[in-house]
A and B are shown apart, each in its own frame.
Chain A
Amino acid sequence: MEKTIYTLALILSLSFCAFAQFGSVGIVDAKSMSLGKTYNANTDGIYSIGINPANMMFSPSSHFEFTTVLPLPAVSMKVGDNFMSFDDFNYFFGGDGTKDANGNANGRVLTAADKQRLFNLFSNSGNVFMNASITPFAAMYKSNPSVGAFAFSMADFIGGSFTVPKALIDLGLNGNTPQQVYSFNDVDAQGWWIREYSLSYARELPEIDQTIFDKISVGLSLKMVQGFAYFGVDHVNTSLQTGNGNNLNIKSEWMIKSAFSSDFGKVYDFDTSNASSKVGPFLTPAGTGLGIDFGVAAAYDQVWRFSLSVTDIGKINWNQNTAEYSGNGNMTITDLTDSTQRQQLQDSLKGKGHLTSGFTTDLPTAFRMGVSYNLTQYVPGSILLALDYNQGFNNVPGNSKIGRWSLGADWAPLGWLNVRTGISVGGVDGFGWALGLGLDTGVLEFFFATSDMNQVVLGNSAKMFTASIGSRWKF
């Protein structure tokens, strides 16, 4: 592929994304991040968008709020991996403390123990990720319970990950052991840059004749999704086995799908055009789609809240500038001096690309439920306790089929200060301890958070870091 496509893929893979209220495991707004990404039964206002639009009805009546880039933009970001800490990185990539004749640091010469240590780091696969979300604008107005609440938001999500196959690490470190089968089927890479325009409506349902709950509300969000870039491994069935006479038996069968906005210019190596890049804030989409969120929420006894929702039901239809790269072939390398065999191997691994009519990807459809309890006794001020369960139905960026539980506590000891913390288990990230602060000036609210405080306290043993900031205007 061309350099351009590699660059774009790298950006998407390593820089990106989970964002505001996206999927079952993606990073979210700073307030929710500080609660261990606990948001189902405790959010309101603009932070309900993408989670459960019915939660908008828990804002005060005749209430208007919005977020924009001032004074603090709503940005969340998570970067890291699941295998190598900063200590590990320093050890393996920090050199051996000596310099060569030109004054350049000498790389550490790995001993057998070092190689084993490095290999063990990938025992649970080697996943590298970076997620970011940006919400340039979101606004909500709640009228009264009978009229309901309205909201609009625009949010960009850029996300991606790359999983290094464990067999590749084994091969690189230890070479190929005869007869052992090295499977690369666990390689994975996926990334996209999408933008959602969301229009939400919620109202209470006084029509339901019930006395159990203080109120029941429902909400619906309609989303128009634009996709600017996508790449993903469709499937991989590739392996290497060293057979008799050290013949290399290679099975190579894989496919990668991609789509890029035409505004990126020429991105494919087979593209013979001279298209140039013209990237701007509003790109020509490579794919479009529609999505729906809907949910129901209820309050009980003034202190309890319950929430059920399904979000991001829909698909993105990528139909502009879409391509497939694939390799297919079983071969046995019997002679490394044979240029024909080497070329066959290269062709099979590199694959060939061609334009396609398009493909579809799912939105990160997720089921969410939560419960919260507002504790006003026994503590100064008030403390809100919330428990969530989020279950994704696919593994697109921001989502996971592995269920995630989280528990958050939002303590407001002074009225203007909120100390928030939470834990999250499950999903793709496993355990995380979150911590954050909120400063509420009445009209303006600030949020600072990290959902992985446990990594912060680990110092150089950390493998990732997460940061989230945001602000909200309230009227």
Chain B
Amino acid sequence: MNKILLNQYIYAILIAVIIQGCVSLPSDVVMPQWNTDLNVPFATKSYTLNDIIGSQNYISISSAQDSVYLINSDQYSQSIGVGAFIKLNTVGTVNVPDMATNGSVVEFTVPFPDNATIDSAKFSSGTLKITGHNKSATTVAHISISFPGIVLSNGKQAVLTVNVRTNSDSTASIDLTGATYKAPSTQFFPGFDMQASASGAPNQVSMDAYTSDFVFSSITGYLPKRSLGTQNNKFSLNLGDASKYRGKVNLKQATLTLQGKYKSSSPKPFIVGVNNLVIQGIRNSGGTMNLSYTTPLDSFRFDANGNFTLQTPYTESNSNITSFITFLPDVINISAEYTMNPDDSQEERSANSTDTVFFTSNFSTKSYLAIKQTSFLDTLKLDISQDVRDQILKGQGVAATANIQNGIPLTAWVKVTLTDQNYKPLFVVTRDTINHADSINFSGAEVDTNTNDVKTPRSSMTTINLDSAQINQLAKYAHYALVSVTVNTSGKDDTTAVYIKSKDLITLNVFGHVSYRIKGGK
């Protein structure tokens, strides 16, 4: 059946062809080609400042507060251990003259070094030393001493025995490493209580006791004021492209916060003092500037809980911080001397060898600023595939009109020049045929002269034309785009700071027509 149907079709076609035999048809059927003008909306987009600047190392956005922090530094932290504090390096000594030699016990106290008062402690190291003296020419002396408050690392009470030959001195010592100390409840004077007894010639035996080089792993009591030394650290500000604005920008809202924390497991840590705080900005190219507080802020204390927060951060009203940030240093140098128990308080407090003093500072500048006309240049590599270049080649002309509603108080001029792979300029893309300029302009939003806040967005319109020759150059030769951007704030003058908020909008409506070559294949 199929065959029959097919034969019938063939018959019909043959007859038709015969009848139409005088008709000539092209040997090559090929689509014609022509230019057509397409009027299209290239793009309609709104960008908040948040969208535009995105996330950069020196800029952060707080959408909740509608704020932009142009320079939002890392936390610059200094950390100092208190090991130097919980050392007693001096020697404490006591002399016991003419000890009774009838075996009776004599109690006395060896003072702690540095006049410290220790209620309890654990030793990392330290030494107790006893030197016995025997003036008898005939009788050997024996001195036995026990320390009721000290338990050695072997768990036994510290006991020392010294045998002193005639007419001689003899010394014995106890290594206190790992030992613990708890002041006996009967102790009256600060220091180690000792109970000593002696035998030998009467009135011929005496002794000296020494304490020295105590290093504690923990201690509760009184330790005298001690400086931990001066800490000096340099931190990079990571300005990135912001460094290009040096000398062109006035930042009006900057803050510096300082925070301290004495990290201790003790419920009642020692007080930490900070002296001689110096914050200095340093440019790599040279030049420094010190940050100064109106009321000199070079000496302060952590509180009883080991915390410190600068109640009034550095602001332009109490410091030169805006000048300091506007200086746009590459490096921040923070120098400070840390002192434990700076007031030499006798109050009993605790410290551990693992305790650390942290001190942090953090800069931020809100986007309330003025920018003088500033230009910078960038080179972008054009990543255009060959397929896309082939499509571009079909373009015969483009006229794109950009209608811009700028709600950001920044005026910008953008010039884009395409170059070949040797950076030889081809043509300027951003030639504005309306304003006869080689850059397109985005007028900044109008700013209220009283509040310096955005009053109304500003409209601007610009049209860019590319002819077929330029499109040809773009498709065939363009490899780089030299982008020149010039910006300034749109306040009443170039020194009047304006508020730039994260939700400020710029709306682009780009439309126009494309003259396109419709070209099909065979």
Contact = CB atoms under 8 A, between A and B. Distances in A.
B34 A114 contact: yes
A77 B42 contact: no
Chain B interface secondary structure, helix, strand, loop or mixed? mixed
A275 interface: no
A448 B19 CA distance: 11
A61 interface: no
Nearest to B18: A467
Contacts of A172: 36, 518
A176 B516 CA distance: 12
A76 B5 CA distance: 12
Contact of B12 (A110, A242, A469): A469
A281 B2 CA distance: 6
B11 A73 contact: yes
B1 A95 contact: no
A335 B33 contact: no
A336 B28 contact: no
Given A75-B8, A469-B12, A178 B25 contact: no
B13 interface: yes
A69 B4 contact: yes
A108 B519 CA distance: 10
A73 B16 CA distance: 14
Interface in A141-184: 156, 172-178
A282 interface: yes
Contacts of B15: 448, 467-469
A247 interface: yes
A107 B33 contact: yes
B41 A107 contact: no
Interface in A66-103: 69, 72-73, 75-77, 79, 86, 89-90, 92-95
Contact of B34 (A93, A105, A109): A109
B32 interface: yes
A90 B25 contact: yes
Residue of A90, A107, A108 with most chain B CB atoms under a 10 A cut-off: A107
Contact of A76 (B12, B30, B45, B513): B12
Contacts, number: 154
Interface in A37-80: 69, 72-73, 75-77, 79
A95 B36 contact: no
Contacts of A92: 32
Contacts of B24: 86, 90, 460
Contact of B509 (A108, A178, A245, A333): A245
A115 interface: yes
Nearest to B28: A105
A359 interface: no
B11 A110 contact: no
A106 B30 CA distance: 7
B4 A136 contact: yes
Interface string A424-456: 000000000000000000000000101000001
A107 B2 contact: no
B69 to A, nearest CB: 31
B28 A469 contact: no
The 5 closest A-B pairs by CB, nearest first: A281-B1, A94-B26, A110-B34, A105-B28, A246-B511
29 contacts: A73-B8, A75-B12, A77-B16, A89-B25, A90-B25, A93-B26, A93-B30, A95-B26, A105-B28, A107-B519, A132-B12, A156-B5, A173-B34, A174-B36, A174-B37, A176-B40, A177-B39, A178-B39, A248-B41, A280-B1, A281-B1, A281-B5, A282-B1, A336-B41, A460-B22, A460-B23, A460-B24, A468-B15, A469-B15
